[in-house]
Amino acid sequence: MNCPFCSKDDTKVVDSRLMADGRQVRRRRECQRCKERFTTYESAELVFPAIIKRDGRREPFSEQNLRTGILRALEKRPVSVENVERAIGSISHRLQSSGVREISSQVIGEWAMQELRSLDDIAYIRFASVYRCFQDISDFNSEINKLNAEYEKKS
């Protein structure tokens, strides 16, 4: 690491700490020439597949877009932030480990619905109604009937 003060490439790590739930390392460094100290942050550069939208456009994956959609479905629902972040992390991990260069937005939508279904049925129905473009009340009834049938099987 080059010193930002004198550009010497001989810096020493003085202290390292994990940050952001272990996804980032904060390092305090000291230049061996000018003795100035500075901080660097290190994190893995993760490559996500491109997302193929319904209209055929390709976009880079945006965790923020995923978070926005999930949070919108969960609005005013009793689900903890930790559970939301765990769900988003699960989807991101599946995406990274998929090993593909491109993936359909529909696949990610289905993964999001799976996560929401385990978190909150109302949020799941909200997300499904937008994602699957429910046209009328019969679409809602159909999805609710599927949920009811699953509950009856479990009981």
Threshold 0.75, pTM exceeds: no
- The phi-psi region of residue 78 (left if phi > 0; otherwise alpha if psi is between -120 and 50; otherwise beta) is beta
d(CA 129, CA 123): 10
- Domain hosting residue 107, numbered range: 50-154
Query: What total of structural domains would you count in the chain?
Result: 2
Q: Which two tokens stand for residue 90?
A: 């699960």
Please report the pLDDT score of residue 74 as a whole number. 95
Helix then strand then coil, % of the chain, to nearest 5: 50, 20, 30
Same domain? For 129 and 71 the reply is yes
Q: Taking the CB of residue 112, how many other CB atoms lie within 10 A of it? A: 22
Please report the pLDDT score of residue 20 as a whole number. 67
> pLDDT truncated to tens, each residue of the chain (155 aa)?
899 999 999 899 999 998 867 778 999 999 999 999 999 988 777 788 999 999 999 999 999 999 999 999 999 999 999 999 899 989 998 998 888 999 999 999 999 999 999 999 999 988 988 887 788 888 888 888 888 888 888 76
Q: Is the four-CA dihedral 111, 116, 117, 118 of positive or negative sign?
A: positive
Same domain? For 72 and 126 the reply is yes
d(CA 82, CA 86): 6
Same domain? For 39 and 104 the reply is no
d(CA 3, CA 12): 10
Same domain? For 66 and 131 the reply is yes
d(CA 121, CA 75): 13
